[in-house]
Structures are given as C-alpha cells and as structure tokens.
Amino acid sequence: MESISDQLKGMLEEKKIFKSGKLFKCILGLNVIESVVFSYLLKHDNVSTMELTEIFKKDRSSIQRALQTLIEVNVIERKSMSLKEFSEKKDREEKIKRGYLYVYGAKDLEMIKEQTRELLDRWYASMLNYIENLDSVFDCYEKLGELC
C-alpha cells in the first residue's frame, strides 16, 4: 500500500484530485476490480453478475469475489429478482418468464459517506494513539528483539 506521503505527492501531481480508487483502497481496503465494480454499482442498479462480467471482461468467479467483498464491507446489497421482472427492467426483447437471479446495487450514498467518515475517524484516532505511544514500540523492540 502506498504511504500517505506518496499519496499526497500524487495528489499534487494530479492537480489535487484524490481518485476514488485510492479512497476505496485506503479506507475500505478494496482492490482494483472491487473498486471499479463498486463505482459502477453507484451509478447503476439491479445489475446481474453476467452483466458485470461482460462490462469488465472478467471471469464470473472474479466478479463474484468482488461482489462478496463489497457485501462484506456493507456498501452494496444483493436481492433476488424474477427473470421476468429483470428482463422487463432491462427492456429486453426476449421475455423470460421463469426463474430468479441475484441483482446488485449500491446502498444509499449518504449511508456510504457516513460509514466511510466513521472508518476514517476511527483510523485517524488509532493513528494518533499509535503516535502518542510510539515510545512503547521501541520498548517492545528492545525486550523481544523485534518490533510489535
């Protein structure tokens, strides 16, 4: 992971723009594919796994792993939808009448912002605490022969 100073230098070089992928990586711990899937789901609702595989040219298992991670970090939701309802929402000519599939969409954007702020605040508080107790790290090193 990039150091904070490297990220800040990059922001200056990129005209002070902090790219969302870096934010997602830093705060939510998302990798590249998880970040792009999340970004897509922020703008599109009721998206199937197959649609995502076609859009991002990735295999189904990679997309499913990304979706599972996004569910675990609580930024997207999965719901079951009938194939008939799905084809109607997507304005597909072929009307499939039987079966179900899972579709995905981002949770409420304001909730995601609040969750991200809370994670950032917790991280910031833990880093301040770590800095305040930096001397104990060196005590740990001296006693055990390695950093804690």
In the chain, what are the domains?
30-107 (1.10.10.10), 109-148 (no CATH)
Number of alpha carbons in the 13 Å side-chain half-sphere of residue 11: 15
Q: What is the 3-state secondary structure (H, E, C) of the chain?
A: CCCHHHHHHHHHHCCCCCCHHHHHHHHHCCCHHHHHHHHHHHHCCCEEHHHHHHHHCCCHHHHHHHHHHHHHCCCEEEEEEEHHHHHHHCCCCCCCCCCEEEEEEECCHHHHHHHHHHHHHHHHHHHHHHHHCHHHHHHHHHHHCCCC
Q: Residue 98, by phi and psi: left (phi above 0), alpha (psi -120 to 50) or beta?
A: beta
Interval 68-98: pLDDT, tens: 999 999 999 999 988 888 887 777 666 666 8
> Is 25:15 a contact under the CB 8 Å cutoff?
no
Interval 113-124: pLDDT, tens: 998 899 889 988
What integer best gives the mean pLDDT of the chain? Answer: 82
More confident residue, 85 or 108: 108
φ, ψ dihedrals at 100, nearest 5°: -135, 160
Interval 43-55: pLDDT, tens: 999 999 999 999 9
pTM: 0.73
More confident residue, 146 or 103: 103
